[in-house]
Amino acid sequence: MIGVFDSGVGGMTVAKAIEDLCPQLPLLYFGDLARSPYGSKSTEVITACSCRNTDFLLSQGAKAVVIACNSAAAAAADTLRRQYAVPIIDVVSATVEKAASVSAAGRIGIIGTRATVRSKVYEERLQAIRPGCQIVSQACPLLVPLVEEDWLDKRETKMILRRYLHPLRERQIDALILGCTHYPLLGDLIQARVGRKVRLVDSSAEAARHLKEFLDKNPQIGSNMAEQGRQSRFFVSDSTGPVQRLADRIFSRPIHLEKVDV
Amino acid sequence: MIGVFDSGVGGMTVAKAIEDLCPQLPLLYFGDLARSPYGSKSTEVITACSCRNTDFLLSQGAKAVVIACNSAAAAAADTLRRQYAVPIIDVVSATVEKAASVSAAGRIGIIGTRATVRSKVYEERLQAIRPGCQIVSQACPLLVPLVEEDWLDKRETKMILRRYLHPLRERQIDALILGCTHYPLLGDLIQARVGRKVRLVDSSAEAARHLKEFLDKNPQIGSNMAEQGRQSRFFVSDSTGPVQRLADRIFSRPIHLEKVDV
């Protein structure tokens, strides 16, 4: 089984992208809703949560772990790789490669939580693989609560997006990293605001693509015959009404959320 | 020492109100920022956090505990009173009395987090002391993130408030409970929106008044001579930039936040 964790349900956009790319692959998903959101918290707290989440997924039989949360990938991916023997796939590494390759002008925007933007992980990795590119980062802390409230079509959401995206438009970016797994749900609004010429790089889709490449190269991890036909399971450390609705919406089907104490 | 806890910094509006009413009384404040916000979480998770917070305050020498968070008071006050021998003062009980007494027409509005509104604690207690009153509740989940982002004077905040307060205006309430300790920071905007005839009942001020009455009746708790001259201390389970700014703003002076693992 492949483990996938996020602070909440945002990472389900990654799980859904994996399901679309690798329909036979059963997943173990864990959403840490008892401690969500991560994006407003410190590196130290996010790292402690990420270790606990990984312990849980391994205890359930995960053979590889996908960090489906940009804030956790930015804060804790290096620590997890040092501390755990299993392969760790993270949403940030996958996304950086794509963004560097699709930007013609080398002017790349990044939107994410405070924790992701503060970490500068996207800037540093982009500069490493495409030296000299211009990068504009913008923390968008209100977008996660707006998505979690399902305010996707509200006027206020559009106004707040306009405010956040204005500095990126000013700098004439030609690629924009959606550096939070909640943001694909706002993809159309974001595309409309930045214009069709700006290429959106969806970190959820890129993480799924990266996992698939990894499994193609390491077939022993995904191909355990005993696991074929097993169903994906979705665990959460807390559960309330809007979360269920959002999960069902992301998968376009009813998702059974199993509450666990972690 | 009197212990005060909240999910984050919102409860500092209660601590500040206590300081204004009882300037000689040193406080032990704990803000559970590693797990905030509580308002979107389940009763079970909020109760577990509230017990942990209370244990911490007692370990630091608290002789009474103020639950300075409506979501925690709604979810966990009864449990804390059953499990702990010290007096528990909660923000909800204080506020209900005041609201019932100031509403002439008996049409009372309540705004709060999802957890507070879902609990129906305000409705039940108001009906108990003022049978037949009409109550209109509205969950306002985006207000806490807006306050924590310091978006107090932004146009989007006014629009979102208008949306949330519309059903309360329609029902012609004459008193409105600010059922979340973040909301006093939006007091002027809320008053402007509901009109001057609606009496706002500030749960932070009421909790402080309630504590003062309790200490006047139980002088042994607040009057330990050895504690006079001691300073209040402010503990947090996580700390990031905006939190410090908000704490300083609430107290109109620099607040030293001490990070602790709880």
Do residues B173 and B160 share a domain? yes
Last residue of a domain, one of A177, A203, A229: A203
What's the pLDDT tens digit per position in B65-118?
A: 999 999 999 999 999 999 999 999 999 998 999 999 999 999 999 999 999 999
ipTM of the complex: 0.89
Residue B190 pLDDT: 98
The DSSP string of B173-195 is: -SEEEEESTTGGGGHHHHHHHH-
Say whether A114 and B149 touch across the interface (CB within 8 A): no
Do residues A82 and A98 share a domain? no
Do residues B114 and B134 share a domain? yes
- CA separation for the pair A24, A41 (Å, rounded): 35
| Cα pseudo-dihedral B220, B224, B225, B227, rounded to 10 | -160
Residue B262 pLDDT: 86
Say whether B34 and A40 touch across the interface (CB within 8 A): no
Catalytic residue among B49, B69, B133, B140: B69
Q: Which candidate, B57, B50, B58, places its Cα nearest to that of B79?
A: B50
Residue B221 pLDDT: 82
Q: Which helix H or strand E contains B27, and what residues bound it?
A: strand B27-31
Say whether B151 and A142 touch across the interface (CB within 8 A): yes
Task: Report the chain A residue with the minimal C-alpha distance to residue B47.
Answer: A34
Provide, as residue numbers in chain A, all residues whose Cβ is less than 8 Å from the Cβ of B237: 45
Say whether B35 and A34 touch across the interface (CB within 8 A): yes
Provide, as residue numbers in chain B, all residues whose Cβ is less than 8 Å from the Cβ of A142: 142, 145-146, 149, 151
Say whether A237 and B141 touch across the interface (CB within 8 A): no
Count of domains forming chain B: 2
Q: Average pLDDT in the B172-187 region? A: 96
Q: How far is B142 from chain A (nearest CA, A)?
A: 7
What's the pLDDT tens digit per position in B191-223?
A: 999 999 999 999 999 999 999 999 999 988 877
**CATH code at A150?**
3.40.50.1860
Structural tokens at position A231: 């169903």
Of A110-119, A154-163, B238-247, minimum mean pLDDT range: B238-247
What pairs with residue A64 in β-bridges? A2
Active site residue B133: no
Residue A225 pLDDT: 47
Do residues B86 and B112 share a domain? no
Do residues B60 and B32 share a domain? yes
Residue B95 — φ and ψ, nearest 5°? -75, -40
User: Which of the four pLDDT bands, split at 50, 70 and 90, describes residue B227?
Assistant: low
Q: Which sign, positive or negative, has the C-alpha torsion A73, A77, A79, A85? A: positive
Q: How far is B192 from chain A (nearest CA, A)?
A: 19
Do residues A165 and A196 share a domain? yes
Yes or no: say if B64 and B221 are a contact pair by the CB < 8 Å rule.
yes
Last residue of a domain, one of B188, B203, B218: B203
Residue B23 pLDDT: 92
Residue B72 pLDDT: 97
Do residues A67 and A102 share a domain? no
What's the pLDDT tens digit per position in A230-253?
A: 899 999 999 877 889 999 999 999
What pairs with residue B179 in β-bridges? B112
Yes or no: say if B25 and B222 are a contact pair by the CB < 8 Å rule.
yes
CB pairs under 8 A between A and B: 63
Do residues A15 and A76 share a domain? yes
The partner residue sitting opposite B114, judged by closest CB among A44, A151, A240, is A240
The partner residue sitting opposite A141, judged by closest CB among B141, B145, B237, is B145
Do residues B226 and B236 share a domain? yes
Query: Is A94 a residue whose pLDDT tops 90?
Result: no
Do residues B171 and B42 share a domain? no
The DSSP string of B185-254 is: GGHHHHHHHH-TTSEEEEHHHHHHHHHHHHHHH-HHHH--GGGTTPPPEEEES---HHHHHHHHHHHTS-
The answer to whether the bond into B131 is cis (omega within 30° of 0) is no
Provide, as residue numbers in chain B, all residues whose Cβ is less than 8 Å from the Cβ of A40: 36, 148, 240, 242
Q: Which candidate, A151, A144, A156, A180, places its Cα nearest to that of A70?
A: A180
What's the pLDDT tens digit per position in A62-71?
A: 999 999 999 9
Q: Average pLDDT in the B235-244 region? A: 89
* CB count in 10 Å sphere of residue A220: 8
Domain that holds residue A39: 2-90+205-259
Active site residue B180: yes
Yes or no: say if A236 and A261 are a contact pair by the CB < 8 Å rule.
no
The DSSP string of A195-258 is: -TTSEEEEHHHHHHHHHHHHHHH-HHHH--GGGTTPPPEEEES---HHHHHHHHHHHTS---EE
Q: What is the mean pLDDT of chain B?
A: 94
Catalytic residues of A: 69, 180
Last residue of a domain, one of B203, B219, B245: B203
Residue B224 pLDDT: 65
The partner residue sitting opposite A239, judged by closest CB among B42, B155, B239, is B42
Q: Average pLDDT in the B4-31 region? A: 95
What does R_g of chain A's alpha carbons equal in angstroms? Answer: 17
Do residues B107 and B174 share a domain? yes
Do residues B104 and B33 share a domain? no
